[in-house]
A and B are shown apart, each in its own frame.
Chain A
Amino acid sequence: MSIGHTLLGLLESGPRHGYDLKRTFDEKFGQDRPLHYGQVYSTMSRLLKNGLVEVDGVESEGGPERKRYAITDAGITDVSQWLAQPEKPEPYLQSTLYTKVVLALLTGRSAADLLDSQRSAHLRMMRILTDRKRKGDLADQLICDHALFHLEADLRWLELTSARLDQLAKVVAP
């Protein structure tokens, strides 16, 4: 995810301090991975240098200096362009799972067991996400659903591959 564009987008509704930006980002998009302060400040200084934000005011009530940032017109244009540009669809052609299955077949290990244990690991994660979805609000539900659909796709591939292991064995390890 582009942290720069996201922070910039958050500034469109009005100027904010670095701390406030971090908190809002974590709340809305951080999920299990909050931003480090270092990331926020290095990102903001890059945006400043590129003229996408400007300093809107500085406070220092006893403590360290706190800058307030505001988005510039160039910044708004940049956010628009980012939103209008479709994300590149992931081709998913470099699959660790596929590599493991083929290696298991090549080395005479049980690919079926490997697929089975991967399947349970996936289902376990799906259970955790389902539970979280059940307890969460709409935003949580949508985030969890996104993850669940991806895991489900993996699972379907695992099942298909299980059903075709004999065929695959003939192709990769004749």
Chain B
Amino acid sequence: MIPEGSLLAAHDLRKTYGSTPALDGASFSVHPGEVVAVMGPSGSGKSTLLHCLAGIITPDSGTITYAGRELSAMSDAERSALRRSDFGFVFQFGQLVPELTCVENVALPLRLNGVKRKAAERTALEWMERLEVDDLGTKRPGEVSGGQGQRVAVARALAASPKVIFADEPTGALDSLNGERVMELLTEAARSANVAVVLVTHEARVAAYSDRDVTVRDGRARDMEHAV
């Protein structure tokens, strides 16, 4: 049931909140280096799917396989370790630590993986350069614009060389020019480093940066390439 060559695959996921079914038999897969857009109406289960795939929440049933290992078979500690080492995250807002400078924020995932401060900040600055925010290094997140902060967040997601980036409405708070710039940089960086991206968005212009799109309706994911 795992599509050949996929890095991360979910099969028949179900998740209910009280009596609300958030996922109702959703399946999904992404290949290394592939950018997949997850679209669908509000409340259809996109974020729930993303959180399950990333091991942030546990589905009631169904399987999720990452690089040949089943997430549900791991302990909580193993899952957190995997999230730190292999996954990167970009959300709509509120993701940078306000007390840290931008460069410290970008270096944080590396620091958590045991990289020494100097080396971590050097790598962080390289990524910030690629995202054109290296001049913001010493500022705190509260002192930069929304678009700049979002690019800092993308740099942070990429800095620890993840295998998968999970992005939930990464451009939701940005105007269209800034949003596109973030998408351009995110997808370019991801493709050159062979990182898979799971991108939740309701904006077609953002989804157009993906290689493939999947639509979630009523808790079920549908692969649009194989639809009709």
The distance in angstroms between the C-alpha atoms of A122 and B215, with both chains bound, is 14
**Cross-chain contact B208 with A127 (CB below 8 angstroms):** yes
- Evaluate contact between B228 and A151: CB separation under 8 angstroms: no
How many inter-chain residue pairs (CB < 8 Å) link A and B? 44
Proximity bits, B129-161, A CB within 8 Å = 1, else 0: 000000000000000000000000000000000
- Quick check: A117 and B228 within 8 Å, CB to CB? yes
- Cβ contact within 8 Å between A163 and B224: no
Q: How far is the CB of A141 from chain B (nearest CB, A)?
A: 10
C-alpha spacing A119/B207, complex, angstroms: 12
Q: Are A117 and B205 in contact (CB under 8 A)?
A: no
Question: Are A123 and B228 also in contact (CB < 8 A) when A134-B184, A163-B41 are?
Answer: no
Interface string of A98-118 (1 = CB under 8 A from B): 000000000000000100110
The residues of A that contact B222 with a CB separation of less than 8 Å are 116
Which residues of chain A have C-beta atoms less than 8 A from B208's C-beta? 123, 126-127, 129-130, 148
With beta carbons under 8 angstroms apart, the residue of B184, B188, B205 that contacts A148 is B205
Q: Does the CB pair B225–A120 fall under 8 Å?
A: yes
> Is B34 positioned at the interface, with any CB of A under 8 Å from its CB?
no
- Assembly CA distance A156 to B207 (angstroms): 13
Q: Does A76 reach chain B (CB closer than 8 Å)?
A: no
Please indicate the chain B residues that have their CB under 8 angstroms from the CB of A120 in the complex.
Answer: 213, 224-225, 227-228
A127 and B210 form a contact (CB under 8 A): yes
How far is A127 from B228 in the complex, measured between Cα atoms in Å?
Answer: 19
**Inside 8 A of A168's CB, which chain B residues have their CB?**
none
A103 to chain B minimum Cβ distance, whole angstroms, is 18
Q: Is A152 an interface residue (CB 8 A)?
A: yes
Query: Smallest CB-CB separation from B177: which chain A residue?
Result: A145
Indicate which residue in B41, B184, B188, B224 contacts A123 across the interface (CB closer than 8 Å).
Answer: B224
Task: Please tell me if the beta carbons of A130 and B227 are within 8 angstroms of each other in the complex.
Answer: no
Interface string of B191-214 (1 = CB under 8 A from A): 000000000000011011111010
Chain B residues within 8 Å of chain A by Cβ, number: 17
Within 8 A of A (CB), among B59-107: none
Least Cβ distance of A100 to chain B in Å?
A: 14
A123 B213 Cβ-Cβ under 8 A: yes
CB-CB under 8 A for A126 and B205, given A134-B184, A163-B41: yes
- The reply to whether A122 and B224 contact each other, CB–CB distance below 8 Å, is no
B136 to chain A, nearest CB (A): 24
Q: What residue of chain A has the Cβ atom nearest to residue B203's Cβ? A: A152
Q: Which residue from chain B places its CB closest to the CB of A116 in the assembled complex?
A: B227
Whether A152 lies near B205 (C-beta < 8 A) is yes
Of all chain B residues, the one with the shortest Cβ separation from A126 is B208
With both chains docked as a complex, state the minimum distance between the C-beta of A54 and any C-beta of chain B, in angstroms: 45
Which residues of B are interface residues toward A (Cβ below 8 A)? 41, 184, 188, 204-205, 207-211, 213, 215, 222, 224-225, 227-228
Q: A113-B228, A127-B209 are in contact. List 17 more A-B contacts (CB 8 A).
A: A116-B215, A116-B222, A116-B228, A117-B228, A119-B215, A120-B225, A120-B228, A123-B204, A123-B207, A126-B205, A126-B207, A127-B208, A127-B210, A127-B211, A130-B205, A148-B208, A156-B204
**21 intermolecular pairs with C-beta atoms under 8 Å apart:** A116-B215, A116-B224, A116-B227, A116-B228, A117-B228, A120-B213, A120-B225, A120-B227, A123-B204, A123-B207, A123-B208, A123-B213, A126-B204, A126-B205, A127-B208, A127-B209, A127-B210, A134-B184, A148-B205, A148-B208, A163-B41
